[in-house]
Structure 1
Amino acid sequence: MQAAIRFPDISPELFSISIFGAEFALRWYALSYIVGIIIGWRLVVMATRRPAIWAGNTPVMHPDQVEDLATWVILGVVLGGRLGFVLFYQPGYYLANPGEILMVWQGGMSFHGGLLGVITACVLWSWRQGIAWLSVADVLCMATPVGLFLGRVANFINGELWGRPTDLPWGVIFPGAAAQDCAGQVAGFCARHPSQLYEALLEGLILGGVLIYLAFRRRALARVGLITGLFFTGYGLARFAVEFVRQPDAQFVSPGNPLGLAWHVNGWGLTMGQILCLPMIAFGVYMIVRARRRAA
């Protein structure tokens, strides 16, 4: 019999309450956003209170400015994440149903869209404050993996964004008809890669640990652009790799394209996630080289 791990019996909702006949619930995914932003905010505040880790021993901003920056970042994450999902993954559907574009409570957020939203917010906020945007980007990139880790763990708890079928002993039997619909399965259960946890480990725990260590112990923030470059490269490579075992987006799957490749030739190609990661990796490598040359 195939070895596999049964999905833990955890409700996607921490609790729900009824107010005047309407149900309000706090979900793990929403909590991950809240806690991730709070921890990220505190990390940025800690960095601004340590002049020695910055270029010229001068923090790029004051601790009391971080709260205002956090507001801009939240707007960038939510608006960018939603619009990115609409444009990158289901443009046809939302073009036909424009009234649903802002219905974020129905689900559907894109990391790459959220990233573009945060970059836009960072540039605009820095311009308004008269601060070098790349230094602000460095400290934000240092804090971002915390939210990525929590968000991917929440994806796992929700039983969503699971991976492709696998016979590896750590495959997880996710609940639901969609998760158990494995091509070629005759009988029994369908175990899948827990790709959410792969991403939590690579994009969150490992990448975050490296960036925080370099920022606080190796003065990486003193090399403007280095942390940004490492984040873009690290995330891009991690996501690109995990895409090989991640279940493809349903809208890209067809009888002639069972792997759900957004671009392919003779069965070989790339998923949408991998396509979006390529410019991230290229930009990250450029920023790393640029920062090292300026520091030389």
Structure 2
Amino acid sequence: MPVLAIPFPVIDPVLVSIGPFAIRWYALAYIVGLVGGWLYARRLAATERLWGPLKRPTPADLDDLLVYVALGVVLGGRLGYVLFYDLKQYLEHPLDILAVWRGGMSFHGGFLGAVLGIFLLARSRKLSVLAMFDVAAAVAPIGLFLGRLANFVNGELWGRAAPDFPYAMVFPNGGPLPRHPSQLYEAFAEGLLLFVAVTIAVRLFGFRRPGLVSAVFAIGYALARTVCEFFREPDPQLGFLLGTKIAALGGGLTMGMLLCVPLFIAGVILLIAAASGRTRPRLTLERAAA
């Protein structure tokens, strides 16, 4: 083991336990991320200069949006993990699908679930669907940051073996070799850096060009996740896909990389459309005039 290898700071994944009732860091990360995003979204909705002529969501709209997004993230994230990452195992043990406290959530599945929830709410309230996507994109990195920290606390989704990397960690369930703390890389890239990127987009353009902030989020996440995948150990039941080998980095194409391709392409298309003004509605009305 390298002299500077860092022991994993073992943290009990259960924050508080009272009899059969337990509060886990993993669940707390989801709750705090959703509530923190909801509070920030209310602040963005209250800032009139960001919206121009677009109809702004009311506090009641955002209260309901929290429920829609929470259901979409949890149900979509779990279903996405089952379908994309371990379908065979869950077909053999279908009751395990309900054991969400053991981990096993897919960002891409949660993303699609949240998109569906936002779409349904925006259409029912006659709000701009793309503008509501933008609000969600502006706050989503908060949850991503906390979620990756929870992955680290759980000692899951660790990085690839890096015996020569001086600041690698030996994870309790990751074997004897030091590994990249890839959860922390993802918290930094998909959380902090992405939050800075979407915040700059909000400050410069607000939501007056519907879809632009969402495009920045989609492109930024796809790039950040793809880079981090080079340091993250692939799921053992999947390994590397398509036999692709990248000798310089000792790996290949992973499921995470593959799922980021359509997300990146959609982001580029949306960015071009939003920047050219094609996503602006021809006529927008304030709520008071509705």
Question: TM-score w.r.t. structure 1 length?
Answer: 0.87
CA RMSD of aligned residues (A): 1.8
CA drift at 1:25: 1.2
2:185 corresponds to: 198
CA drift at 1:152: 0.4
What is the one-letter code of the residue matched to 2:237? Answer: Q
- Say whether residues 1:69 and 2:70 are aligned partners: no
- Label 1:4 to 1:266 Cα distance change in 2 as closer, same or farther (>3 A): closer
Q: How many residues align?
A: 273
What is the one-letter code of the residue matched to 1:294? Answer: G
CA drift at 1:8: 1.3
- Say whether residues 1:103 and 2:83 are aligned partners: no
What's the secondary structure of 1:160's corresponding residue?
coil
1:289 corresponds to: 272
Aligned with 1:273 (options 252, 256, 279): 256
For the residues of structure 2 that align with 1:116 and 1:25, how far apart are their CA atoms?
Answer: 29
Counting only pairs closer than 5 Å after superposition, residues 181-196 of structure 1 correspond to structure 2 as 189-196=176-183
Aligned with 1:227 (options 188, 210, 213): 213
CA drift at 1:265: 4.8
CA contact (8 A) 2:8 2:170 kept: yes
- Say whether residues 1:263 and 2:250 are aligned partners: no
2:17 corresponds to: 16
For the residues of structure 1 that align with 2:64 and 2:104, how far apart are their CA atoms?
Answer: 27
- Say whether residues 1:50 and 2:78 are aligned partners: no
What is the one-letter code of the residue matched to 1:262? Answer: L
For the residues of structure 1 that align with 2:126 and 2:98, how far apart are their CA atoms?
Answer: 32
- Label 1:8 to 1:129 Cα distance change in 2 as closer, same or farther (>3 A): same
What's the secondary structure of 2:276's corresponding residue?
helix
Note the residue ranges of structure 2 that are not aligned, 5 or more in a row.
281-290
What is the one-letter code of the residue matched to 2:258? Answer: I
Deviations 1:185-209 (A, max 9, x none): xxxx411001000000000011112
Aligned with 1:238 (options 224, 248, 258): 224
Choose 286-295 or 150-159, whichever is displaced more.
Answer: 286-295
CA contact (8 A) 1:51 1:59 kept: no
For the residues of structure 1 that align with 2:207 and 2:61, how far apart are their CA atoms?
Answer: 18
Note the residue ranges of structure 1 that are not aligned, 5 or more in a row.
181-188, 253-259
Deviations 1:197-245 (A, max 9, x none): 0000000011112212331x32332211111000000000111111111
Deviations 1:248-272 (A, max 9, x none): 11112xxxxxxx2122257885111
| Greater than 4 Å deviation, 4+ residue runs | 265-269
What's the secondary structure of 2:222's corresponding residue?
helix
CA drift at 1:105: 2.7
